[in-house]
A and B are shown apart, each in its own frame.
Chain A
Amino acid sequence: MNSSPNFIGAMIPAKPETNFVLRCADNAMILGQRLSEMCGHAPELELDLALTNISLDLIGQAGLLYDHVQTLEKLAPNADVLALTRDQNAYLNCLLVAQPNVDFAHIVLRQYLFSTFQKRQYEALLSSSDETLAAIAEKSLKEIAYHIRFAKDWVLRLGDGTEDSHERMADALDCLWRYSGELFEKDSVLAAAIDAGLLTDFTDKYEAWQIEVVALLAEATLTPPDDTHMLKGGYQGHQEDHLGHILTDMQYMQLKYPSLQW
């Protein structure tokens, strides 16, 4: 166990409010990191720019949120140490955002499911008792609206495009749908954050979200699998193996050269 103050390790926040903000930060960070893997490798140059834009938005959101976590509970000497030195199971992102960039179908479906959820979650922050958080949500919602527009268009195009693209989308849906249940789950941390006035309860939007998403998928000639066993646990730090490999890259410099300025 590294005892350096520049290493967070297994520590997680004590307060539910901080825990919730850290979840939001990790969601944005890990998805931003995933999308940044595509930089220079997207299937078309125009899409390279688009995916990088979304990645920039998300990592920007993560930065604001990590800074805010630090003001709520000073967990690390600075936000970079907080973002980049925790153990795998101290990351509190939902499982969906760490899913790999299997192909462009997986990328756009992951984005669509996440961004439509994130919109509802951030709308619930607009009237937060925490003004900084409300301001971050307000700024981010404009970015999220664009992410939804981009992802939605491509879900339609790929779902209702060629036979090949349809099959790829069906595969993506088969893989990713099982991570959608976690997005709206109300565990004790979220319940406490809601009680504290940090956000309104967005989990009751789950059904409306499902109706909207299923309708869009239907327009894209896609149907979610029946009776899916929903996978959960990311918000409690029970991460899948994917995250470990993301962190290997993401934490490389901070762990190899602790305490240095870059």
Chain B
Amino acid sequence: MYSTDLRTDAEKRRAQKADAKRSVEDAAFLDAFQARIDAGDIIEAKDIMPEGYRKTLVRQISQHAHSEIVGMLPEGNWVTRAPTLRRKLILLAKIQDEAGHGLYLYSAAETLGRSRDDMVADLLSGKAKYSTIFTYPTPTWADMGTIGWLVDGAAITNQIPLCRCSFGPYARAMVRVCKEESFHQRQGYEIVTTLAQGTPEQKQMAQESLDRIWWPSLMMFGPPDGASAHSSQNMKWKIKRHSNDELRQRFIDTTVPQAEFLGLKIPDPDLKWNEERGRYDFGDIDWSEMWAVIKGGGICGKARIRARKAAHKEGEWVRAAAAAYAQKRNSEKAA
């Protein structure tokens, strides 16, 4: 799907030398790269690329990987309490997929020369970000349904265009992720459907969960186009194919009828079909909430990072033991 940073030492040295010679990436170099992108070329890990392109991708792919890994925790909150064996198996398999997707993505980012260790260290130190949605709590079983339906639904809306991203390893990782995630949204919608068609108590549980998760899921598409720091350059480089606002609109347009089908109410009094646009109009998003979560970590932000730190710390002695054991076996073989 991807390959690692397969550049030989000589190639890396040459690339470094070339970078140094270009100390400022000159217009000719950037134009030539842009021409490749415009011609629909796919960039592979070993290709020469502008430092900005490389950095943007490392940031975006590693954030995406972190989101998969941290995203295991809100759902993990219900694994031991799942109401039936079938639901427990589905939830476990889904969370396991997220671990897998995190690993695919770390691998894709590693092709750009950054180690997984470094990326994980940035997550644990708070330097790297992950999707704000995963800092919200999951107080009821209904949240397992709503997360699959809305959060995975939003993720898929975001990820499908990424399958055609200009960077090959990322695009290939996304193809695999999208294929595997197709069941994630369905299982979520199935949970919500069961609740919406269940007792009044269950239906209320579903509505209350939708009320809480609707707005945060819209924020998953990022700030509005005018306020997005990276959007236009990323579109030019075809790292991103559609603007935040366009993807958000697509998500709303597909999701509203799904809620109506279940008799659930989207918590937005301004939401209405716009015949002229052929799309839904919707109310203002409270961006101050998103920025507060990004800066302050959200309700469960501290707990999420604490959990990841604890797992990483527990891994230290395990990794050390495995390394020591492998070394002993190797020296035995050599003897």
**A–B direct touch in complex (beta carbons closer than 8 A):** yes
Is there contact, CB below 8 Å, between A60 and B89? yes
Is there contact, CB below 8 Å, between B81 and A59? no
Is there contact, CB below 8 Å, between A49 and B307? no
Residues from chain B with Cβ under 8 Å of A157 in the complex: 321-322, 325-326
Question: Closest Cβ of chain A: how far from B316's Cβ, in Å?
Answer: 8
Is there contact, CB below 8 Å, between A158 and B79? no
Is there contact, CB below 8 Å, between B141 and A253? yes
B60 close to chain A: CB less than 8 A: no
A39 close to chain B: CB less than 8 A: yes
Q: How large is the interface on A (under 10, 10 to 19, 20 to 34, 35 or more residues)?
A: 35 or more
A226 close to chain B: CB less than 8 A: no
Within B303-335, the residues touching A (CB, 8 Å) are 307, 310-312, 314-315, 317-322, 324-326, 328
Is there contact, CB below 8 Å, between B99 and A158? no
Are A47 and B318 CB-contacts (below 8 A) given A40-B72, A52-B95, A56-B92? yes
Residues from chain B with Cβ under 8 Å of A29 in the complex: 85
Which of B69, B79, B84, B100 is close to A39, meaning CB atoms less than 8 Å apart? B79
A241 close to chain B: CB less than 8 A: no
Is there contact, CB below 8 Å, between B315 and A43? yes
Within A231-249, the residues touching B (CB, 8 Å) are 246, 249
CB closest residue in chain B, given A44: B315
Is there contact, CB below 8 Å, between A41 and B307? yes
**Interface code B60-79, partner A: CB below 8 Å = 1, 0 otherwise?**
00000000010011001001
A252 to B95, CA, bound (A): 20
Question: Closest Cβ of chain B: how far from A242's Cβ, in Å?
Answer: 14
B114 close to chain A: CB less than 8 A: no
Residues from chain B with Cβ under 8 Å of A44 in the complex: 315, 318-319
Is there contact, CB below 8 Å, between A36 and B311? no
Contact stretch, chosen from B43-51, B191-199, B292-300? B191-199
B102 close to chain A: CB less than 8 A: yes
Is there contact, CB below 8 Å, between A52 and B88? no
Are A36 and B103 CB-contacts (below 8 A) given A162-B317, A252-B81, A260-B202? no
Question: Closest Cβ of chain B: how far from A206's Cβ, in Å?
Answer: 30
B80 close to chain A: CB less than 8 A: yes
Question: Closest Cβ of chain A: how far from B59's Cβ, in Å?
Answer: 20
A85 to B97, CA, bound (A): 29
CB closest residue in chain A, given B73: A40
**Interface code B6-38, partner A: CB below 8 Å = 1, 0 otherwise?**
000000000000000000000000000000000
The contact sample of 14 A-B pairs, CB cut-off 8 A, is A39-B79, A40-B73, A40-B76, A41-B307, A43-B318, A44-B318, A45-B69, A53-B96, A59-B89, A63-B89, A157-B326, A162-B317, A250-B81, A254-B83
Q: List residues of chain A with CB under 8 Å of any chain B CB.
A: 29, 33, 36-37, 39-49, 52-53, 55-56, 59-60, 62-63, 66, 79-80, 83-84, 103-104, 156-158, 160-162, 164-165, 168, 246, 249-250, 252-254, 257, 260-262
Complex A-B, nearest 6 residue pairs according to Cβ-Cβ distance, in ascending order? A161-B321, A165-B321, A253-B83, A40-B76, A43-B315, A262-B83
